[in-house]
Structure 1
């Protein structure tokens, strides 16, 4: 069993990569937009080929402090995913999603996360079972039982990710899975005040300042202007 677990390690990472390339799971609060640049729908309106895309001036969000869970690479990966998701949104979409979250929070959500976790767990079980059979360690019902045990252990460390988090303007849509500790750390810091480039503590939370900047862009550039947020880890 231990040998099979070691052999499947790289397969788990591969499964994660494959999962991240799948279409997002639709939730109940809004229609999702795909977060990956290479998965975007054909350009429309101001985004027709050759047309300039209006984008707000870049806003550098106060850095996110890494906790002691997960790697720096995973922290950067999750921040990059959230940044891509934000910057694919218009200021109008962002502000509408933020208003909706303030009114209803996470009420009625969760279906997308459950469906995403279920599908990924099924993939892990199948890969663990194959590895156990190939190694000759287990067969039949015993292989299935052990595969489920290994998959359950892995799933305890993974969260379904929103890009961006719902509190930061995202919708109930899952585009990938990632380290749970890292996801919780990032999510907890949106509503906290951060440290700006001058080393001073901000007077508003990270997401409140993002709201201010988005409203400025709405008034000067119009509702279709794209966000331009810079998310980064404290170093």
Structure 2
């Protein structure tokens, strides 16, 4: 129901742009992205708080939202799917708060009937509005993501470094983005003038007088990350090559690098050096359980979708096949890789080809990072966090 409501609202909002011709592809990509966000939220709530989001009720919501923010990083794969990696700087920051709408929708639909009294045995009662309200929250989130995508495209064309034809060429390499690229070229001027796609001011990252020049000698780029007072001096790891990646996967490559960077910076120097000295062995259990949970989530979502046009048994069979196909392209991600000092915890899922490209590139980079960490005095290593920066060549 969320998809239908979102589509109807978008058709009305952009009736002058003939958006119907590409709406199915956009909604499909957005819904797939939403499932990754919600799936990551469920995993994050379970790992972080020892309780599932749905079973935890509204009280589990703040912790689940933190898990969702991890899921939002996973959600940026939509840029790769649509061949829109070039608009990342105008899209990813705006995507983060949208996760709240998705999680609110799921939580409302599931927990609405239960939030009555403090007695769990007598608090359950039927609430016909809960599912409807939850679906509305999800539909609204779908709509906002579509608007954000179109706004980011406009920002890229008007304030970014590219133009519509360059972007359309990149999108042509994506099966799901090629049609959107041609539609964008046809409606370029109308998109630029549409009132719903204008932003009041440049996003952080757009060039402006408040930003230092890229080669500023101020030395600020060497400062520790803010928010972690006890960090080692920043170490920039040698760049990771993505030259063999198709353009449609560059955004996913950068997302996975950021996940590994964040994972490293959550380790103390002591933890990191210990892990490097005795690398954790990859176990089958963690990966198997994480894949099982995500597959179940995807299968349930596909089954609900297919039941609109199939019998329950046919929908179940089709959902199982679709979930298998989706999972075959995903790899469980260790943030960071085990060879780079990570723990055997599946923190996320991502494109298998990208993950296989990043992993082997760690080998020649570890020694310099290890040497930088060893400069921290022994007495401070258990209270000093890593401070590393990973980037694409």
Evaluate the alpha carbon distance shift between residue 155 and residue 222 of structure 1 in structure 2; reply closer, same or farther with a 3 A threshold. Answer: closer
What are the within-5 Å matches in structure 2 for residues 54-203 of structure 1? 54-66=230-242, 67-69=244-246, 71-101=249-279, 105-106=281-282, 109-134=283-308, 136=309, 138-191=310-363
* Partner Cα distance (1:183, 1:62) in 2: 17
TM-score, with structure 2 as normaliser: 0.45
Q: Larger relative contact order (C-alpha < 8 A, sep ≥ 6)?
A: 1
Residue 13 of structure 1 corresponds to which residue in structure 2? 33
For structure 2, list consecutive stretches of 5 or more residues without a partner in the other structure. 1-23, 48-65, 68-226
Greater CA drift, 217-226 or 9-18 = 217-226
Question: 1:218: how far off?
Answer: 4.0
Question: 1:207: how far off?
Answer: 1.1
Residue 387 of structure 2 corresponds to which residue in structure 1? 228
For structure 1, list consecutive stretches of 5 or more residues without a partner in the other structure. 27-37, 40-50, 192-204
Residue 217 of structure 1: SS of its match in structure 2? coil
* Partner Cα distance (1:24, 1:226) in 2: 24
Q: Which of the two has greater strand per residue?
A: 1
Mapped contact 1:129–1:147 kept (Cα < 8 A): yes
* Partner Cα distance (1:216, 1:52) in 2: 18
Mapped contact 1:24–1:175 kept (Cα < 8 A): no
Mapped contact 2:239–2:390 kept (Cα < 8 A): yes
Residue 44 of structure 2: SS of its match in structure 1? coil
* Partner Cα distance (1:24, 1:208) in 2: 35
Evaluate the alpha carbon distance shift between residue 81 and residue 219 of structure 1 in structure 2; reply closer, same or farther with a 3 A threshold. Answer: same
Mapped contact 1:94–1:169 kept (Cα < 8 A): yes
Mapped contact 2:240–2:358 kept (Cα < 8 A): yes
Residue 71 of structure 1: SS of its match in structure 2? helix
Mapped contact 1:158–1:177 kept (Cα < 8 A): yes
Question: 1:182: how far off?
Answer: 0.7
Q: Which deviations, in whole Å up to 9, do the C-alpha atoms of 1:56-79 show, x marking residues without a partner?
A: 111110110113255111111111
Q: Which deviations, in whole Å up to 9, do the C-alpha atoms of 1:143-176 show, x marking residues without a partner?
A: 1111111111111110111111111111110111
Question: 1:19: how far off?
Answer: 2.7
Aligned pairs, how many?
A: 191
* Partner Cα distance (2:367, 2:327) in 1: 33
Question: 1:91: how far off?
Answer: 0.2
Question: 1:20: how far off?
Answer: 2.7
Residue 155 of structure 1: SS of its match in structure 2? helix
Q: Which of the two has greater helix per residue?
A: 2
**What is the alpha-carbon root mean square deviation over aligned residues?**
2.6
Question: 1:24: how far off?
Answer: 8.0
* Partner Cα distance (1:116, 1:207) in 2: 27
Residue 320 of structure 2: SS of its match in structure 1? helix
Question: 1:217: how far off?
Answer: 1.9
Larger radius of gyration: 2
